[in-house]
């Protein structure tokens, strides 16, 4: 059988999940998995997941045998693939999690998995973070949002703060007259994230250990907010009142767009990544897919892995040729753990996994590289090179 289109691949994957592939079709699917690009294969599996959010007929043993066969034919590259296959499998495995909770074992022969599992010393486990945040009002009082009731939370001048059924908070303007400018601050702890709808309708996602300070009503000639940590913005366009984000001494000006800002102080640089539209930083205008990296100067990177950068907003970890240090900085914030290194790991990793799993699942997958091992001791993760 010859695979001529992505629809052909989708049909082969579906037939394999139903265990109805004949020998020729199975060979064609193996070849396709080796040949097609990351983006193409991810699109196929995401399409399948939309049509089949759960699949009780998924044949785990058969699928594992096929993946193992591919592994035996593939040559190793300098970059360790967390999932043992090309990068598309790393992204797609998040999708396949919808079909089976045991997808982690698909990437290595059973004998090797057993050996690695015994080498992991997980004395306990750490649960993932969740929707946790504290809202500080203009008078200094605070509201713990994860335990707050749905509905009206507070009145701030002529703005009413409401917790919606979805869990996020929103601001609505009331008829109450007030000229007072009141600022609120939304703060997420380690192990927390939260969503917010600003008074102008702009939406903000805050990652763990981040904060956003903003007025409860926008007025004047500009809309200015100030942030720390990491946030994703979907800005409501208002040509006569530009939206600006202050962080780390920089000013980012939106021109009607979606963008991500990573300004954690323990990262090497502040990164602003444009998803759609246009933003301006230090008088440099970004195009979609570009990233501004600010240290003592500003550098523009073209064609960055946007899906990796905003994966946190979509409930995922995703990496493409990333150091263990970078991965574990993200993990430390999300799982609220401390990370200790006993030796240098000279390896990069590619892959992905849901952010909703315990940290042991992430560590096991990283461990499949045979380049690194882990111990969990309380809230401390110890990392050693192999």
Angle of the 324-335 helix axis to the 359-367 helix axis, nearest 10: 170
* Residue-level pLDDT at 353: 85
Q: What is the pTM assigned to this prediction?
A: 0.72
Mind listing the pLDDT tens digit of every residue in the chain (386 residues)?
677 777 787 777 777 666 677 777 877 877 776 666 544 555 665 565 555 444 444 444 444 444 444 444 433 333 444 433 333 343 344 333 333 222 222 222 233 333 334 344 556 789 999 999 999 999 999 999 999 999 999 999 889 999 999 899 999 888 777 678 899 999 999 999 999 999 999 999 999 999 999 999 998 899 999 999 999 999 998 888 999 999 998 999 987 789 999 999 999 999 999 999 999 998 899 999 999 999 989 999 998 989 899 999 999 898 888 899 999 999 999 999 999 999 998 888 888 888 988 999 899 888 877 889 999 998 999 999 98
The CATH fold assigned to 317-385 is: Phage tail protein beta-alpha-beta fold (3.55.50)
* Residue-level pLDDT at 179: 76
* Residue-level pLDDT at 103: 28
* Residue-level pLDDT at 112: 35
* Long-range interactions of 237-245: CB distance < 8 A, separation 24+: 238/200, 241/200, 243/200, 243/202
* Residue-level pLDDT at 51: 53
* Residue-level pLDDT at 164: 94
* Residue-level pLDDT at 244: 95
* Residue-level pLDDT at 386: 86
CATH class of 130-309: mainly beta
* Residue-level pLDDT at 21: 72
Count of CB atoms situated within 10 Å of the CB of 142: 11
Domain limits, the chain: 6-121, 130-309, 317-385
* Residue-level pLDDT at 69: 46
* Residue-level pLDDT at 36: 61
* Residue-level pLDDT at 229: 98
* Residue-level pLDDT at 222: 93
């Amino acid at each position: 059988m010859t695979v001529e289109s992505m629809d052909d691949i989708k049909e082969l994957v579906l037939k394999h999940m139903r265990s109805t592939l004949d020998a020729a079709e199975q060979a064609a699917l193996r070849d396709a998995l080796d040949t097609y690009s990351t983006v193409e294969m991810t699109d196929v599996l995401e399409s399948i997941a939309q049509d089949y959010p759960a699949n009780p007929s998924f044949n785990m043993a058969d699928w594992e045998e096929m993946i193992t066969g591919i592994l035996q034919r593939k040559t190793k590259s300098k970059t360790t693939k967390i999932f043992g296959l090309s990068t598309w499998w790393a992204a797609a495995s998040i999708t396949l999690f919808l079909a089976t909770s045991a997808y982690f074992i698909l990437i290595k022969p059973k004998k090797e998995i057993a050996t690695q599992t015994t080498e992991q010393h997980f004395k306990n486990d750490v649960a993932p973070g969740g929707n946790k945040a504290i809202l500080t009002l203009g008078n200094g009082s605070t509201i713990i949002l994860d335990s707050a009731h749905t509905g009206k939370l507070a009145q701030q001048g002529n703005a009413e703060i409401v917790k919606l059924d979805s869990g996020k908070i929103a601001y609505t303007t009331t008829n109450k007259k007030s000229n007072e400018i009141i600022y609120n601050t939304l703060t997420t702890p380690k192990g927390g994230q939260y969503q917010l709808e600003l008074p102008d309708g702009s939406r903000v996602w805050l990652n763990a250990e981040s904060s956003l300070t903003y007025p409860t009503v926008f007025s004047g000639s500009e809309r200015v907010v100030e942030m720390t940590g990491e946030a994703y913005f979907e800005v409501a366009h208002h040509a006569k009142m530009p939206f600006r984000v202050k962080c780390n001494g920089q000013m980012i000006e939106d021109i009607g767009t979606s963008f991500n800002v990573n300004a954690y102080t323990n990262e090497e640089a502040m990164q602003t990544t444009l998803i759609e539209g246009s933003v301006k930083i230090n008088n440099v205008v970004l195009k979609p897919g570009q990233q501004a990296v600010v240290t003592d100067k500003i550098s523009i990177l073209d064609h960055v892995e946007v899906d990796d950068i905003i994966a946190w907003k979509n409930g995922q970890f995703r990496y493409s040729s990333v150091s263990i240090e970078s991965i574990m900085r993200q993990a430390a914030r999300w799982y609220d753990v401390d990370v200790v290194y006993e030796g240098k790991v000279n390896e990069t990793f590619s892959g992905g996994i849901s952010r909703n799993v315990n940290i042991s699942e992430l560590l096991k997958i990283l461990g499949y590289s045979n380049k690194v091992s882990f111990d969990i001791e309380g809230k401390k993760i110890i990392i050693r090179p192999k």
